[in-house]
Amino acid sequence: MGTISLRRMSRLPFELLLALRYLRPKRTFVSVITLISVLGVTLGVAVLIIVISVMSGFDQQLREKILGFNPHLKVFERNRSMKDYARVLGVVVSNRQVKAVAPYVMEQVLVETEPASGQSQVGAPWVRGLTPRLETNISILPQSIVEGSFEVKGRGLLIGTEFARNMNLTVGDRVMIYSPSDLRKWRESAGKEGGKVPVPPEYDVRGIFDVGYYEYNLSFIVTSLRDAQELYDLDDSVHGLMVMLRDPYQAPAVQRELALALGPEYRTTTWMQENANLLSALMVEKNVMFYLLFFIMIVAALCILSALITFVVQKTREIGMLKALGATDLQVAGLFLSQGAFVGIVGVVAGFGLGMLALGYRNEFLHLMDRLTGFELFPASIYGFTELPALIVPRDIMLICGSALVVCLLGGVIPAWRAGRLKPVEALRYE
């Protein structure tokens, strides 16, 4: 078996054969630096894969939550409510990319609870008026009811789980909703002697929803389109139209087409524009994390550089003998480049495996750390997700592994160039 292995190794180029031989573990300072270099590349690749995949998972999950509750496009009139929304709806539906359209009313209101005992609580959520039969094609709200039912007729109200918890509300409770018009009427009546104080309408909590995103569960309540129109004295007009597309990423193109079809008196906004700050922040964070963590690999490359420089100094006489026996400058340089490449390949493969393993058990590790530390390391109230998301993008993995290998190769260029330029006579005389 040893003879067969030797024969197979002898088929390799001699510079690669020597590189593998020199890399055998020995109890020397150079071997320790080489081991540190491999560990540095391994940790650098693993940490980069984990962080970039988690950031990609955040981005994907956030987009899914945004698109699950919000429309792909909103159409509304400039500076006023939309009265002839039926005509506008017909124009929008005629676009081949449009899958569904529904009118909406959405503004901020003041909500006051009516507890059986104790002090009432006040919140200021956004109320969203919708048409129940159309909502199944617009959002995941009808499928997200966790208590009660999807019922908004007759001043019925749907509230999010976090809003319900903060306001101590359950299905069957009653709340009062104050609209800006109610507050204006109060202000006007306060200035008149004997003026009647308007009574705000009462709503029944019919259902509690969980759309999977903390901010939406906290900041939105839902009622029927008719009730929302009454709150804002809109009569038969609406604030705008919600538009769902066959492909949400075609929203900018459809926006341009609708702008031409509807004219300048109407405006359209895409889900990308409405959430531009959040999506851009995630992209910037992902890029910054990549550049910062990439310095781990640069440190590993410096370790490779120092190890190979030390190795060249130790093997100066052997390099001279190789050149005296006919080895070219390129072959000697290839010997040391092969060492750097081997360290890089081992580190990249080990880092890839460690990164994939860590991503596979990321939530188990997170829950373990929560139990050990006694506090929540990944609070849903801040990040909006109950589990740590991750998305493995092959392009990102290839970029990380490829750039790590290139850095390792660059770490061996200077020692390889130095070794290749050694003159046989000077090398053999080296003490």
Q: How many residues does the chain have?
A: 431
Alpha helices of 168-275 — where are they, by DSSP H?
180-190, 214-219, 225-231, 251-262, 271-274
CA-to-CA dists, residue 38 to 23, 51, 327, 341, angstroms = 12, 20, 29, 11
Provide φ and ψ at 126, rounded to 5°. Answer: -95, 130
75-129 per-position pLDDT tens digit: 988 878 888 888 888 899 999 999 999 999 998 888 888 887 778 888 889 999 9
Residue recorded with tokens 């966790």:
146
Over the stretch 168-214, which tens digit does the pLDDT of each residue have? 899 988 998 888 777 777 766 665 665 566 677 889 999 999 887 88
What percent of the residues of the chain are helix, what percent strand, and what percent coil, each to the nearest 5? 60, 15, 25
- Pairing assessment for the beta strands 174-178 and 122-123 based on DSSP bridges: unpaired
Distances (CA, A) of 261 to 72, 88, 92, 240: 18, 10, 8, 16
User: Taken in order 316, 322, 323, 324, is the CA torsion positive or negative?
Assistant: positive
Report the relative pairing of strands 126-130 and 220-224 from DSSP bridges. parallel
- Res 242: pLDDT: 92
Arithmetic mean of pLDDT, 226-243:
88
User: Residue 126: in which H helix or E strand, if any?
Assistant: strand 126-130
3-class state of residue 362 by DSSP:
helix
The confidence band for 6, taking pLDDT boundaries of 50, 70 and 90, is: very low
Choose among 134, 133, 49: nearest CA to 355: 49
Determine contact, residues 45/401, Cβ cutoff 8 Å.
yes
Per-residue pLDDT, 274 = 84
Residue type for position 239? H
Three-state DSSP state, 421: coil
Instruction: Pick 409 or 334 by higher pLDDT.
Output: 409
pLDDT of 4:
42
User: Computed from CA positions of residues 181, 151, 236, 257, in that sequence, does the dihedral angle turn out positive or negative?
Assistant: positive
Mean pLDDT over 236-258 rounds to: 90
* Cα 306 from Cα 285, distance rounded (Å): 32
Tokens encoding 214:
């903390």
Regarding pTM above 0.75, the answer is no
Percent of the chain, pLDDT > 70?
Answer: 76
Residues of the chain above pLDDT 90, percent = 14
The pLDDT assigned to 312 comes to: 63
Tell me the HSE value of 308 on the side-chain side, using a 13 A CA sphere: 33
142 contacts: CB under 8 Å, gap ≥ 6: 132, 135, 136, 150
Q: What was the pLDDT predicted at 195?
A: 56
CA pair distance 107, 186, nearest whole angstrom: 19
Of 341, 267, 293, 320, the C-alpha closest to 37 is 341
pLDDT at 367: 78
Which token pair is 117? 């005992």
Helix residue ranges, H only, 70-125: 85-93
* 70 pLDDT higher than 90: no
Q: Of all helices (H) and strands (E), which one includes residue 21?
A: helix 14-22
In three-state secondary structure terms, 172 is coil
pLDDT of residue 426: 56
On average, the pLDDT of the chain sits at: 79
The vertex-243 CA angle with 238 and 244, nearest 5°, equals 150
Q: What is the pLDDT of residue 353?
A: 93
Asked if residue 5 has pLDDT above 60, the reply is no
Distance in angstroms (rounded) separating the CA atoms of residues 69 and 221: 12
Q: Please name the residues in contact with 376: beta carbons below 8 A apart, sequence gap of 6 or more.
A: 370
* Contact indicator for 210, 146 with CB cutoff of 8 Å: yes
Judge whether 99 and 244 are in contact, CB under 8 Å.
yes
Place of tokens 């890029």: 287
At 3 the pLDDT is 43
Rg of the chain in Å (alpha carbons): 33
Which of these ranges, 36-50, 276-290, 302-316, 383-397, has the smallest mean pLDDT? Answer: 302-316
CB 267 within 8 A of CB 239: no
Question: In this structure, what DSSP letter does residue 166 have?
Answer: H
DSSP assignments along 27-46, one per residue: SSHHHHHHHHHHHHHHHHHH
